[in-house]
Amino acid sequence: MKLMRWVSLLAITGLSAARDYAAHDNYALHISPNTRPQDVAQHLDLLFDGPLGELEDHYLFHVETRQPDYDHVQTAIEDLRRRRRKREAGAELPNILDHVLFAQKQELHKRFPLHKRSVLPRQQDLPVDSMVQKGKELAASLGINDPIFQEQWHLYNHVQPGHDINVTGVWAQGITGKNSTVCIVDDGLDMDSDDLRDNYFAAGSYDFNDHVEDPKPRLSDDHHGTRCAGEIAAVRNDVCGVGVAYDGKVSGARILSGPISDADEAIAMTYAYQDNWIYSCSWGPPDDGQSMEAPGILIKRAMVTGIQKGRGGLGSVYVFAIGNGAANDDNCNFDGYTNSIYSVSVGGIDRKGLHPYYSEKCSAQLVVTYSSGSGDAIHTTDVGKDKCYTNHGGTSAAGPLVAGIYALAMEANPHLNWRDLQWLTVLTAVKIDQPSDWEMNKDIGREFSHQYGYGKADAYALVEMAKNWTSVKPQAWFYSPWLHVKHPIPQGDKGLTSDFEVTADMLKTANLERLEHVTVTMNVEHTRRGDLSVELRSPSGMVSHIATHRRNDAASAGYVDWTFMSVAHWGESGIGKWTVVVKDTNVNEHNGTFTDWKLKLWGESIDAASQPLLPMPSESDDDDHDDMHIPTVGTTSVAVPTETGSPEGNPDDHQHRPVNSKHPVTATATPTSSAASSSTSASTTLPPNTGDEKVEDPDKPTPTSSATPTSTSMSEHLLPHIFPTFGVTKKTQVWIYGSITLILIFLCALGGYYLHVRRKKKRWMSRDDYGFEMVDHDDDGHDGPGAAMNGNGAVNGANGAAKKKAGRLYDAFAPDDSEAEDAFGLGSDDESEGRPSKDRYRDDEPLRPGAGVR
Ligand SMILES: *[C@@H]1O[C@H](CO)[C@@H](O)[C@H](O)[C@H]1NC(C)=O
Ligand SMILES: *[C@@H]1O[C@H](CO)[C@@H](O)[C@H](O)[C@H]1NC(C)=O
Ligand SMILES: *[C@@H]1O[C@H](CO)[C@@H](O)[C@H](O)[C@H]1NC(C)=O
Ligand SMILES: *[C@@H]1O[C@H](CO)[C@@H](O)[C@H](O)[C@H]1NC(C)=O
């Protein structure tokens, strides 16, 4: 504790001085809790700078040289290892490197503000006289004398009545954002503007581009953040207009005005996170319909830290603009920020309630609100003493309005946690009166559309519901095992389907009562990624289009451990059959294979008291596919939907697919297999929320374990051939087979488990022998784009190699075999020293894929 305090002091003074990217090489390290960062620095010849924001046991270091293609830490660790190996016979060896759980050289990269779109000619519609009069009376009663208030149609629309965020009734109750603080993570915030000065919160602000205290717009085109800030907290005075929460506070984190490292972005996302309640982010990867980028691991950890510890434990609220790439076929599920379960993704509608050409659609979109289109845009504050702006638009302008509404809700009820706000948003959004792919979510009685989410945010309805809202119980989760498909994807209208049956028992074991977010992590190889699309069908019949065709996306990368997200299944129980359908609708020379997938259900826990917090995400969370196998009792079926008579995709082949050969079996054996699938989970005892998939899904020493695609069909063949019916009813058969399977699986699992651990151990041993040659080899690639992206940790899928390399970096810090055993609970626990939270940190070790965001 003392150490931490001292370290924090250092950090505050060192925040600006240390990270000089022009002169130094900077490193972020995650080290074991009982290790002194100073000792690590000494052993690795690093200079210690201080903690990495709010990330527990993460620190920043630098070396006083700049060598773009050289990783000092990796090399130093390799050296130490080599020396250790040579002196293996009993010599004293520095074991400090075993306590380095993660290291990443920090590289600069640029984040882009979402495009500022120019807006077409002013709208010609005439004001509705009675509405104009009412607006004037309203302004007078609220004491609003701001000169452009009447132009702020998004607050009070007297031309298209009803097309505003419905906020005046909230203000009339005196709820104006008092005590709420929104941090604008953007290109600065003009704290000297007469329209923002009084609401500026300096202590929550920092300039991460120039490393100075105030995030003042310094470049000629730094206006974006100021305009966003004006939408939220422009002061009620005689300058321009007002913000949605005009008595709330705004702070600024300037990150978009130059390149920034992952470490700095991670610090920004939790900056002053006890006082900054909401982070408003109107930026992301390019909306070109080709990019597929996710935040690097440090940034992901920052967001999880934010939702777990920010705002006194209620959780920081991240609001993200969904992206402006609709005209490029872009889809917000290809953006790892907007499709994070920790962010509220906001799309746009225009002042006539129409869908603007730019606003993307996706299954991760929660809500929409007003922005540019139909001849007008958002009117707000601009950079300058008393400058206003009439042309703020794109989804950039939508996100901050929702952030402002949240500021109001938080004043009305300061106890709302981060998931409460998402519930309130879902339950109070107003359906858009436009044709779209609306689907009724029967569990919550709300309609969802990929274009509009659950509809438009209504400030009045949301704040009213917030007042008496009872907080949801803590978040729980359920992970399926990796489901191996390994099957070519047919071209044309057919899709390749794969199922997973979730049983009531599984969810009970996972302590999961009802769903909020659903994520699917998947691997698909394809020579043209944009040809692919993916649907997720839930037991209730809701269909999420988790991936859509993107005409510009010619990458031959496929999906590499990419996580898609859907909010369409909000409120469902989750019990029943989940189906993924992968399609390649473009019949051309480009083809591919659906490799595997993993379903993750997130939602409210059953028993709040026993629900632990999610372990910090790690880059190896989704690794080790090769160690995972489908339980031999086929929980997944590989099937081309039986749209018969369209022989395009190679019908002969289909005849041999498991689904077809399964048909005769289905009548008698299907219940067995689903009963068995639940017993699979039951017999392996560990609750899914430990996130330890290896134990959950051990190698099975069965003849089928090396040929997964056939294992599905084999097992389904085996059952009916080998086992008699006993002349009893199907139900009884199910019971008998279920019990037998359960026992068998238990025995297999037990055997497999030990085999697995032994094999694992062997692998680590042999890897240790040449592990660093592997890493060295990686170094060769440092000039390539993959290497640069790896440094940023920001690319997922666009470059499969980058992802792989990141994995290998972890390998460099692989713990010794003794620790490998420990990770499985087999070894001695001699280094834990009674630290209760130790388990959490272990999840960062490469051996143990912890539960995570993706
Ligand atoms: C808008 O707010 C008013 C109160 O000012 C409320 O009566 C009305 O129901 C709200 N509109 C919607 C769609 O909820
Ligand atoms: C705002 O915060 C101050 C100081 O913490 C407190 O005294 C006040 O009651 C709060 N106001 C509201 C509306 O919550
Ligand atoms: C909300 O809570 C207040 C105070 O507890 C109570 O008076 C009011 O009736 C409640 N409103 C609703 C709609 O439940
Ligand atoms: C893709 O097409 C090539 C050439 O037609 C073929 O050799 C290959 O097997 C196909 N791959 C898949 C996965 O369908």
Residue 180 alpha carbon to ligand 2 centre in Å? 10
Segment (H or E) for 411: helix 395-412
**What residue's CA is closest to ligand 4, atom 2?**
591
Q: Ligand 1, residues 430, 460, 463: which to mutate, most atoms within 8 A of Cβ?
A: 460
Residue 569 known to be catalytic:
no
Q: Is the CB of 468 under 6 A from ligand 3?
A: yes
Specify the pairing of strand 367-370 against strand 343-349. parallel
| Residue-level pLDDT at 115 | 52
| Residue-level pLDDT at 829 | 29
Residue 469 alpha carbon to ligand 3 centre in Å? 10
What's the N-to-C CA distance of the chain in angstroms?
31
Q: Which listed ligand is nearest to 413 at the C-alpha?
A: 2
As given in the structure block, the two tokens for residue 276 are: 């900054």
Q: What stretches of 567-715 adopt beta strand conformation (E)?
A: 576-584, 592-605, 638-639
**Ramachandran bin of 327, using left for φ above 0, alpha for ψ from -120 to 50, beta for the remaining angles:** alpha
Query: What span, in angstroms and rounded, lies between the C-alpha atoms of 292 and 794?
Result: 9
| Residue-level pLDDT at 93 | 54
Residue 138 alpha carbon to ligand 1 centre in Å? 15
Mean pLDDT over the full length of the chain: 76
Q: What angle do CA 145, 430, 330 make, to 5 degrees?
A: 100
Instruction: Evaluate whether the domain defined by 115-472 bears CATH number 3.40.50.300.
Output: no
Catalytic hit among 58, 163, 224, 487: 224
Residue 396 known to be catalytic:
yes
Strand partners, 319: 280, 344
| Residue-level pLDDT at 110 | 81
Q: Which listed ligand is nearest to 466 at the C-alpha?
A: 3
Using the atom order of ligand 4, give the atom closest to the CA of residue 591: 1
**What residue's CA is closest to ligand 2, atom 1?**
179
Q: Which listed ligand is nearest to 178 at the C-alpha?
A: 2
Residue 179 alpha carbon to ligand 2 centre in Å? 6
As given in the structure block, the two tokens for residue 503 are: 């049983």
For residues 622-636, b (16+ Cβ closer than 10 Å) or e, as one string? bbbeebbbbbbbbbb
| Residue-level pLDDT at 20 | 80
Q: Is the CB of 625 under 6 A from ligand 2?
A: no
| Residue-level pLDDT at 386 | 97
| Residue-level pLDDT at 599 | 98
Low-confidence stretches of the chain (pLDDT < 50) are: 1-17, 90-91, 116-121, 627-638, 640-734, 736-738, 740, 743, 748, 751, 753-854
| Residue-level pLDDT at 619 | 79
| Secondary structure (3-state) at 186 | strand
Could you tell me which of 536, 609, 613, 604 has the C-alpha nearest to residue 572?
A: 604
**What residue's CA is closest to ligand 4, atom 14?**
488
Query: What span, in angstroms and rounded, lies between the C-alpha atoms of 268 and 434?
Result: 38
As given in the structure block, the two tokens for residue 326 are: 């609709």
Query: What span, in angstroms and rounded, lies between the C-alpha atoms of 545 and 362?
Result: 7
Q: Which listed ligand is nearest to 470 at the C-alpha?
A: 3
| Secondary structure (3-state) at 714 | helix
Could you tell me which of 726, 700, 721, 722 has the C-alpha nearest to residue 711?
A: 700
Strand partners, 104: 28
Query: What span, in angstroms and rounded, lies between the C-alpha atoms of 524 and 423?
Result: 32
Using the atom order of ligand 2, give the atom closest to the CA of residue 178: 13
Residue 591 alpha carbon to ligand 4 centre in Å? 6
Using the atom order of ligand 1, give the atom closest to the CA of residue 461: 14
Query: What span, in angstroms and rounded, lies between the C-alpha atoms of 494 and 642?
Result: 9
> 476-727 in CATH: which number?
2.60.120.260
As given in the structure block, the two tokens for residue 19 are: 């990270």
Could you tell me which of 502, 501, 484 has the C-alpha nearest to residue 603?
A: 502
Longest pairwise C-alpha distance within the chain: 91
Residues 6+ apart with CB under 8 A from 654: 640, 660
Per-domain boundaries in the chain: 2-106, 115-472, 476-727, 736-789+796-841
Structural contact between residues 475 and 614, judged by C-beta atoms closer than 8 angstroms: yes
| Residue-level pLDDT at 739 | 55
Could you tell me which of 63, 48, 29 has the C-alpha nearest to residue 810?
A: 29
Query: What span, in angstroms and rounded, lies between the C-alpha atoms of 580 and 703?
Result: 27
Residue 679 known to be catalytic:
no
